[in-house]
Amino acid sequence: IDPTVLYAILVTLFGALAISDVTVPILRNFLPEEFGVAEIEVPEGIAKKIDLNPPTLPVDGLVTLGLGLLCTAVYWAPVAMTQKFLISNAIAWALAMTSLGAISLGSFQTGAILLLGLFCYDIFWVFGTDVMMTVATKVEAPIKFLYTAPTVTEDKYPFSVLGLGDVVIPGLFVRFMSKVDEVLKPGVVSYFNAATAAYAVGLIICFGVNEITHSGQPALLYLDPACVGTALACGAVNGQLQEVWNFEEENEEEEELA
């Protein structure tokens, strides 16, 4: 079996679970309260085999798991990607949201160092080699966001691509800045709002440069300096630069519990 196909299969299966995870709270906001507490009895024999106690499964979890498996089935339907790229994006979105909820940077300095390292990594592999472009255009798996390109020729990949890492890595930093907001309570500029705006501006610049140059761009070249630079600038404006630089999430949580 082609390793890239096996990789795509594994990603889509994880994607089905991710869709189930992120859509449960969404459905609970739109459906009656009974939907969120309803359960289905599992046959005793099956419950014992899978060590399920109590022998019930939540209805909302089963429904959303079915939705995830449906998306996976549609993704593997024998039609062109141009006809199902929205499903691919939905799976990628679910994987990104699950990652953002499961991973924490821990401290501002850890986040800044991580973004600096990936900033250099992205620049090298995009400008120094053709590896990133090959992976982006030749490996089909829901690990990227696809946007229809304005002009398509037979020898050109029919999408503009934003890698999942270009969402998750800066996204972790943006999410971390919400924790900084909660603890430092800035008086002038919200760190989270500023980081969100910086990400949006960096992404717009990246796509703009890509459109002008007609060549692939390392998104982290624009996103990482925008996010970290904006956070430090906001720290200076709020008179909390040192506090931002030394901020550690674990320590702050321990202090709150104490």
Residues recognised as catalytic? 122, 166
Structure tokens at 127: 């400008």
Give the E-state strand segments of the chain in sequence order: 39-41, 56-58, 144-148, 159-163
* Rounded Cα–Cα distance for residues 233 and 37 (Å): 46
What is the residue type of 79?
Answer: V
Helix-strand-coil split of the chain, %, nearest 5: 70, 5, 20
13, 20, 37, 55 from 58: Cα distances, Å: 20, 12, 7, 10
* Rounded Cα–Cα distance for residues 87 and 133 (Å): 22
* Rounded Cα–Cα distance for residues 241 and 245 (Å): 6
Pick the closest to residue 142 from 14, 3, 20 (CA basis). 14
What is the residue type of 55?
Answer: P
Q: Which residues pair with 248 in a beta bridge?
A: 107
